[in-house]
Amino acid sequence: MNDSEKGTESPVAAASGQRAEDGKKAMAEYEAAALAMRAKTERLRAMRLAREAELAKTAPKPAAKRKAGTKSASAAAKRAAGTLSDWLDAQERGGHRA
């Protein structure tokens, strides 16, 4: 007689069967969670796109671009400050570099 005829399972076979059931249950939970995540992502994406479309309708037009020949105030400030090599020379003369 083998184990199936006796009606009793060996502890190894019982543990193996339990692991298989646990695996199936875990996979079902994982797939359900993934499905819920995809549904939530779709819903949030639709809400975001609707909000962006609404904002695009009411948003003011962008400011006119400046002409290519004009310089910004920050560019003028950078030129007035000098170059990196000028700054390094001043640091050496001031005794800041050893």
DSSP readout, 45-91? HHHHHHHHHHHHHHSPPPPPPPPTT---HHHHHHHHH--HHHHHHHH
Mean pLDDT (whole number) for 2-23: 78
pLDDT tens readout for residues 38-73: 999 999 999 999 999 999 888 777 777 777 656 666
- The whole model's pTM is what? 0.44
> For position 32, what pLDDT does the model report?
97
Distance of CA 56 to the CA centre of its chain: 24
For residue 1, what pLDDT is reported? 45
| More confidently predicted of 94 and 36 | 36
Q: Which two tokens stand for residue 39?
A: 């549904």
Residue 67, both tokens: 């002409």
Average pLDDT, the chain: 82
